[in-house]
Amino acid sequence: MILESKAPGGDIQTAWQRHKFDIKIVNPANKRKYTVIVVGTGLAGAAAAATLGELGYNVLNFCFQDSARRAHSIAAQGGINAAKNYQGDGDSVYRLFYDTVKGGDFRAREENVYRLAEVSGNIIDQAVAQGVPFAREYGGLLSNRSFGGSLVSRTFYAQGQTGQQLLIGAYQALSRQVKDGKVKLFARTEMLDLVIEDGHARGIITRNLVTGKIERHVADAVVLGTGGYGNAFFLSTNAMGSNVTAAWRAAKRGALFANPCFTQIHPTCIPVSGGYQSKLTLMSESLRNDGRVWAPKNPADAWDMAKGKLGKDPRQIPEADRDYFLERRYPTFGNLVPRDVASRAAKKACDDGQGVAYEGRGVYLDFAESIGRLGQKAVAERYGNLFEMYERITGDNPFETPMRIYPAVHYTMGGLWVDYNLQSNVPGLFVIGEANFSDHGANRLGASALMQGLSDGYFVLPYTIGHYLAQVGPRPKSTDWGSFKQVEGEVNEKTKKLLSIKGKRSVDSFHRELGLLMWEHCGMARNEQGLTTLLQEIPRIREEFWKDVSVPGSEGEVNQVLERAGRVADFLEFTEMMVLDARERRESCGGHFREEFQTEEGEAKRDDENFQYVAAWEFKGVGVAPELHKEPLNFRYVKPSQRSYK
Amino acid sequence: MRWFLKFAGSTIGLKIVMAVSGLLLFGFVIGHMLGNLQVYLGAETLNAYGATLQGMGPLLWVVRLGLLAIVLAHIGSSVALVRLSHAARPQSYKKVQPRASTYASRTMRVSGPIVLAFIIFHILHLTQGAAHPELQHCVTGADGALQCFVHENVVSAFSLTGANVAYKAFSVVFYVVAMVLLGLHLGHGAYSMVRTLGLSNPRYDRIARALATAVTLVIVIGNCSIPIAVAVGLVRTAGGH
Amino acid sequence: MNLTLHVWRQNGPSDKGRFETYQANGISEHMSFLEMLDFVNEKLESEGKAPIVFEHDCREGICGSCGFMIDGKAHGGQHRTTVCQLHMRSFKDGDVLTLEPWRAAAFPVLRDLMVDRSAFDRIVQAGGYVSVRSGSPQDANAILVGKEEVDRAFDAAACIGCGACVASCPNASAMLFTGAKISHLGLLPQGQPERYRRVQAMTQTMDEAGFGYCSNHGECSAFCPKDISLDVIAMTNRDLMAAQVKGRSEG
């Protein structure tokens, strides 16, 4: 299979303008003859559904939550980047493009990234027009902050709730279309499969999560904005309901899954506190601006493995016995090294027996020095709400004792493969937001996820989908096609099977088992041996799952266990592809760190000669090795270089 | 007109009807109290005041009917809202732990009807006379001037001497209890009214609340003082009942 | 620690429902309240019994999915805390807790502690937005908004739509939720053109959904996990009256 990016060649600065002119446009009077299915109501999904409705298409929009407003985009804290240069500090579209390509460790498609940087400014204009209350200066102008290793201040924010405010903006735009009758919203409805008719994506099968009813929906195109798969690790900062099901079922119907091993670990999360832990909470990256990361030099002061107890009170550990390992290893960047570097350094300290939280998985983030230097009041002004959140969860007051932090899975750069038009290799199937693979390469910069979701939803997909629709023209639509019947039959069969096992183990116990192994061998650091172990373990867990899982109740009612069981069953298939991808990519890049491939100083070592490509995997059957297709990456503008933070 | 009925029938509209009527009644209560406090200025002053009011003729009835309409609007809107409230939560909680509401706010639906019962009693007692056997109505004197006996009536109503002491004692107690309940009703009512009419502002929210409490206290103390003063003999008629 | 839970169980909207008692033994004080319920549920599941249904998603206090009454207090009553962020160290060994769903006619119980809050979506659909198309609005800095104004708008916009206000209100009123959106948009210049149309449409939809009225008890704000101020209600009242004066009545 040849993967055509369909990205326009020539001058990258005019590429998107030229492309918009070259692609076909649907006649305004014809738009109402088309129906588009949009799955997901996060930033990408809600923005796309609202915009398509505004343009005149009929939209069917689905989410598994009880309201479109609850999609997990809502939890993003920090901010959204845009190349506005409002601060006059030399920012430009080109600089944002450059930073993103480099930050992604040269594993993203240049043209996509340039377009993202180009429309970033429009997103801010759009959001402000909707009434999103971004932070402002006293003069009434928008305020910015710097973020995530960038040299300019280009991040727009709304306190620590930027994702919430942007999502509510999109949700409100969506609500307007619902009222106008252009968007039909299906809340508490989960997509369980994709229907392909005559080679084109034409519909989905859903389950109504209240009545349990399985339903068929037909359209002219299907758009997936279903988020990432971080919950493959069980513990992550994702919402409990975040899942890979929609994307994975599409993959099983022929869509290629690109770079599944590219996952992002966020360095500052609250550590696990016990075996019952259900999810992890992120603490904003901004804390590292004033907090110093350290671990006890002496393992005797760390977590006591034998007794299963916390070690010495950090306040009692003298300065000489503390290892400020980031400052020691990276004297130039110190505590402000990028996410992947900080995460791996924390892991190393814990691996060396210096860990301080439950099971030795945590390091200190200490504000004592800042409090001494700036005063408690100034620190409270900057981080008060974060300290409050930390205390709420842990019971410890960071003003009095150092925070404990540990890295956690936070975002997945991989996703369904899409071309420049955001169309997958299945005609009529479009993928937007975190669900696709396109813009972040092997590592995402802070404050770029919101930007990509909204860019795809408001400004890219609504144009590029028209190109496809205009080409195929209005077609008859029917849910009576044999394809619907067949796919619905398969969905029902799977549900029946899950309910009939009546085993002894809870769904979560399988999910936890899978997640722990994934975290151990396919998390912050990976190696051939661990990945090979995983490839043996995953099929074993999967087999046991289908023999011994307990799913009480029936399909015709609210059944949260059944919902989770379906999602975990998909993770148990999908993770195999993830691990294979990680094993196949014999280099380290961005969030993908292969221990065999590191520099002498222990930094990631890229192999551009052999791995400068997108790995797009084709599903060949459960338990069967998927087929690898490669899309080579060309860097015409930003020349690959080694990242250094010494 | 249709827009007004639609507005007045909405939950906020009904609340505004309640607030506006409440505001007017609040004003009436203050005026009524100030008039009555003239009892301390002696029989002559109070009786002259009574005569002035009675002398208004048809205008008095306009005021009375106006007050009646306001009371009906207040009661009508509250009945409608209470019904809405029951409909909005048909199944109540097994356990409730209120935090911000006050005793006064939670008892509006109890204090309201009791105050209404008191008002009816009060009219029958000191205006119409059915509940006050010794009540003397105003008479037109030989000079054509209206002569009233408000002061004498008040004293005979609450003075714990002479006939029917038990009934009079009951009257004193009923008045005081009703005034305390009225105070509770007004205390929350005044604060709530300001919010319902959208007049509140975070900057002087505390002041508004304190002011509402203070005015209410003045009303309760002012009104209660009269029957108590008579009962303990601080206020008596010249004839010395 | 060991706890006794009296939990409302209801199989569907038409079921009458009843309280059932569960023991939660061996609970760690570091667990979140929902992790404690997960623990109870996992046991029920492995016994083939139907677990307690409750809603949750982000478990970070921002998505607004979770929420039920613990001993008559929405979200358990800890200041600025949704039930997903409530931790077991707030309880003590031997506590007996009553768990009830939000109760309001406009929030029918779907199952156990899960209710249908779609009425909130309908209120927003009625007009809780600024009518602007995706495309090319003016430059973001062309609209100046003072810091104080935008901060006030933000405070109102912080609402997560969890429904604790309705649940705590003695009248099951949705004025705090509705008022928060009306205030968020009404305080910003972008929201002005539709300000009065919006307040009428949204409050009308709120009434039609069957919520009660506001009698200024203040329970809603006291239990709001995002500390939304009662002032949003006063502003709604004021705007609705102004809308009458301006004669822009609809329908």
B78-133 pLDDT, tens per residue?
Answer: 999 999 999 999 999 999 999 999 999 999 999 999 999 999 999 999 999 999 99
Measure in Å the smallest separation between the Cα of B81 and chain C Cα atoms.
Answer: 7
When the candidates are 1.10.357.10, 2.60.40.1730, 3.30.200.20, 3.90.700.10, the CATH number that belongs to A266-409 is 3.90.700.10
pLDDT in tens, C13-24: 999 999 999 999
The pLDDT score that the predictor gives to residue C162 is: 98
What pLDDT score does A385 carry? 82
Kindly report which listed range (A42-51, A326-335, A497-506, A521-530) carries the lowest average pLDDT score: A326-335
Who's near A375: CB < 8 A, 6+ residues apart? none
Q: What is the pLDDT of residue B209?
A: 84
Which chain A residues are closer than 8 Å to C78 by Cβ? 392
Please say whether the beta carbons of C181 and A87 come within 8 A: no
Are the C-beta atoms of residues A233 and A518 closer than 8 Å to each other?
A: yes
B contacts of C105 (beta carbons < 8 Å): 87-90
Residue closest to A100 by CA, chosen among A338, A345, A332 = A338
Q: What is the mean pLDDT of residues C93-109?
A: 98
The pLDDT assigned to C247 comes to: 66
What pLDDT is stored for residue B89 in this prediction?
97
Contact flag C31-A240 (C-beta cutoff 8 Å): no
Spans of all domains in chain A: 266-409, 487-610
Task: Nearest by CB to A66, from C29, C34, C117: name it.
Answer: C117
pLDDT of amino acid B240: 46
When the pLDDT of each residue in chain C is averaged and rounded to a whole number, the result is 95
Residue A489: which pLDDT band, with cuts at 50, 70 and 90? very high
Mean pLDDT of C149-167: 97
Q: With beta carbons under 8 A apart, name residues in chain A contacting C193.
A: none
Q: Are A and B touching by the rule of 3+ CB pairs within 8 Å? A: no
- The shortest C-alpha distance from A133 to chain C (Å) reads 6
The candidate with the shortest Cα–Cα distance to A457, out of A126, A178, A11, is A126
Under CATH, which number does the domain C3-111 receive?
Answer: 3.10.20.30
User: Chains with ≥3 Cβ pairs under 8 A against C?
Assistant: A, B
The percentage of chain C sitting over the pLDDT mark of 90, rounded to a whole number, equals 94
pLDDT at A42 over 60: yes
Q: Do C241 and B81 touch (CB under 8 A)?
A: no
Bridging pattern class, strands A403-412 and C73-74: unpaired
Q: Which residues contact A256 (CB under 8 A, 6 or more apart)?
A: A1, A3, A416, A417, A424, A425, A616, A617, A618, A629
- The domains found in chain B, sorted by start residue, are 2-89+105-231 (1.20.1300.10)
Hey, which CATH number is domain A487-610, 3.40.50.300, 3.20.20.70, 1.20.58.100, 2.40.50.140?
1.20.58.100
C-alpha–C-alpha distance, residues A338 and A149, integer Å: 6
For residue A148, the model assigns a pLDDT of 62
Instruction: Give residue B170's Cα distance to chain centre.
Output: 19
Which of the four pLDDT bands, split at 50, 70 and 90, describes residue B239? low
Mean pLDDT of chain A: 95
Contact A251, A436 (CB under 8 A): no
A414, A261 Cβ separation under 8 angstroms = yes
Topology adopted by domain C118-245: Fumarate Reductase Iron-sulfur Protein; Chain B, domain 2 (1.10.1060)
Q: With a cut of 90, say whether residue B184 has pLDDT above it.
A: yes
Per-residue pLDDT at C86 exceeds 60? yes
The mean pLDDT of A216-225, rounded to a whole number, is 98
The closest alpha carbon to B123, from B187, B57, B188, B178, belongs to B178
pLDDT of residue C87 exceeding 80, the answer is: yes
Chains near A with 3+ CB pairs less than 8 A apart are C
Q: Which among A68, A86, A240 has the least Cβ separation from residue C141?
A: A86
Residue A566 confidence (pLDDT): 98
ipTM over cut 0.90: yes
Give residue B241's pLDDT band: very low, low, confident or very high (50, 70, 90): very low
- What are the domain boundaries of chain C? 3-111, 118-245
Spatial separation of the C-alpha atoms in residues A616 and B147, rounded to whole Å = 105
Average pLDDT over residues B174-200: 93
Q: What backbone phi and psi angles, to 5 degrees, belong to A203?
A: 180, 175
Please state the rounded mean pLDDT for residues A16-38.
Answer: 96
Residues of A catalogued as catalytic: 339
What is the percent of chain A with per-residue pLDDT over 90, rounded to a whole number?
A: 89
Residue B199: the pLDDT is 85
A293: confidence class by pLDDT, cuts 50, 70, 90: very high
A549 φ/ψ angles, rounded to the nearest 5 degrees: -80, 145
Distance CA B136, CA B157 (A): 11
Q: CA neighbours within 13 Å on the CB side: how many for A500?
A: 6
Which residue reads 């009576």 in tokens?
A480
Measured distance CA(A27)–CA(A23) in Å, rounded: 13
pLDDT recorded at residue A488: 98
Span B136-154, mean pLDDT? 91
Of the partner residues C98, C222, C239, the one whose CB lies closest to the CB of residue B99: C222
> Rounded to an integer, what distance in angstroms lies between the CA atom of residue B36 and that of residue C131?
58
